[in-house]
Structure 1
């Protein structure tokens, strides 16, 4: 801006100088031209008096550098000329100034020389005897005058241009300085030219609008961040070069990445072939859904292109953690296979025994024995079906029970009473410790949990061992502990004992019987009651299962 102001001031100054100089030259030229005509007229008047008194002899005494004086007779012949030989000069009767002088007593004429660039001014005065006295003087034309003054004029022009440049530079800087010192963050606090006030007003209004827009954009960004950060699904936004533009923490968690790459390709988060194939497909403009295996789980990758004016500008990737669903599906398939296997064993036995009896291969005295085996297998089948039904009901949460106030100590005592005979048969003693605690819970499910834990404590105990049930108040709520002195559970297998049909020692399980669903029922039942179940066990030293309600005292 300073340069533009400088150029404008400098050009205006130079133009004003040129116009002023030209105007001055014209004025001076006109002034000196008029002055010359006046001098010629006065000189002609003086000389006419001398000529009328003394004749042409009066003109012979003129100084050498005097103006040119010519005396012309009535007929136009030249009688005298102080610059030329009068006898050799042509007749002047037709000269303009001579004709005017004869007619009205005086005459004027101006003639310009094309070769010498000079202008000659003539003034003629008619004498009393009819002769004409003419005086002439030479005056330079404007072009000739400028040519003669070219060097000093150029010098003056250069000096004036330099001064104009200096003054223009100072003026432009002085003009721009208040503009450069404007505080645009606070337009109202500026003191500057009145002409700038409308601009500052517009800037102030624009700043308010921009601030409002920025606040709205920041608020929307915060809302978007809050929404995306609280999503369980992962969100990734990429451009058409696969560079990562936006993401949420769930995406990093699902992909197992510690940090998102800055200005890098999203492929650095996952280099698997399905992931790369999905990225290529979505950036080609297609919708894509892919199942990815990440770390120890699975995620569903849903990719959609982002179009701008009909062209792909990027893509939005949605990652849904489907590990639990896949595990449930696998568990359901495994459960179906296990149920089929467990049902097949007693049914095969029942079918086999019944077929032997039907074919008459059994003696009359052995029929009762075979019927007993059929009954045992049928009872085993009934228990298995019952446990499967319980597991299904716990999974669906559709048990027809309501919570009630239950004395946990009394409920544990009733379970031990029911298991007195099986414990006595295996030589296992039962003990109940603790105190009475009233708790709001579902009694049938609680009894089922305690029964399974105590029954397992008896089945997997050593002869002469014990099972101790303790009802107490823990740090966070009521607790029931079931501790035995049995075979114990190895540490690596403690995480799997709550799986359906899982058995630590399959050979020993066949001896003691059971469906393999007891601890699974315990886990799901505890979850239904809003409690947690944990296990502490050492091989050969027994196990302790703790059922604890957190936050309920």
Structure 2
């Protein structure tokens, strides 16, 4: 603050000095310039009287060579000049001061020298005989005058700056002295300038606010510790240097470490390559997910960078136990992978039965039975293969169709018509409600999704139950839902019904039929269509599955 006051005072003094010099020089220059022009005018008037009375001879008798005297005829021819050979001089009729004198009786003008160091002033007076008497003189420009006074000005400037610096230093220290004596830890005892009273009030207010924020931060820290300590998941916070800033006991348990000391690197807790690579990449700004196998369990390590002012200041690491999930997914993948192999056995049987029948080794009364078994098994296998192909296409995004405008209400009616016979066999009533509503989607996929939803609603309904398809605009968005009055889905099962080959009621799977892939096709189809899929269900009441679009 002392330096700032010092610089400000010295700068103000320098600016005042420079401004004063400029103003003074400007005023003096204008004053002397005016006086000079008045002298030219007076001298011209004086000379005009002599020329009127004595003619040109009067001018030759004048020995004053400080002023240039020129006599010009009415046609611009130079008749006399006391400094130049009139024979070599050009016509002066177009000179500004001469032209003005011919028009108004007198005229004046000024011209700058090529070096800008001198300026010549001209005053012309018209005589009674029409001739023009012109008197001119040269004067230094303001820049030439300043240059001539440069040394004394520099001396004055240096003296003023030195004095300003001395006084500024003393004044700055005197001003800051009471401020340096302030005790900000005790704002109630602050004394000083009256102008600082608002500052003291603000300090008191800020001290109270800081104390309040510290108390809130401590409370939040306690709450955060309680939450993280009761988490089953491991939680770690590290800085840019991989040093541990925070962690919970679950993380130490998972990583089999008794604890971490201050400044300890997180890389010391686990030396595996996946763990180290994840830490390195997250600290370079990338979101990372990887799996770690620790003591026979599988953990998913999720790492997110922490940004501050567009710079990475650290990262948050979370360890999730996904052993059961991974094992379940492995079983699902293994089961799906074995489908193709399992299909070969029934297909071989079907082929064998057909070959026996073709060779005529089947009794006539058994042909119908054999044919029925072949047809049933083949249809089931075809459905299974078709569903697997559909899921594969949706997974790979290789659906051979283009989006188009589809009327949800009309499409729902068409699906209901296709399932009318199936609904009648199961004693279920179907209804389509709503209004025409259009959405841009792949029609075959959307139709397959609605068909599977309605088919499931019929199969898992109760006798004399009802299936209602509603298509409309909801909250300004395209919306379609399939509601049934069936057996419902327990809350514990609702998160898994969209898994492949998963059945809520496994004991009745043969009676109900199907491939177990219907709702999985619904899930993947909705994702492909960009629709939000929601499920609401209550056992014994029914199920509602809805699709909505943001378009």
TM-score by length of 2: 0.46
TM-score by length of 1: 0.46
Greater C-alpha Rg: 1
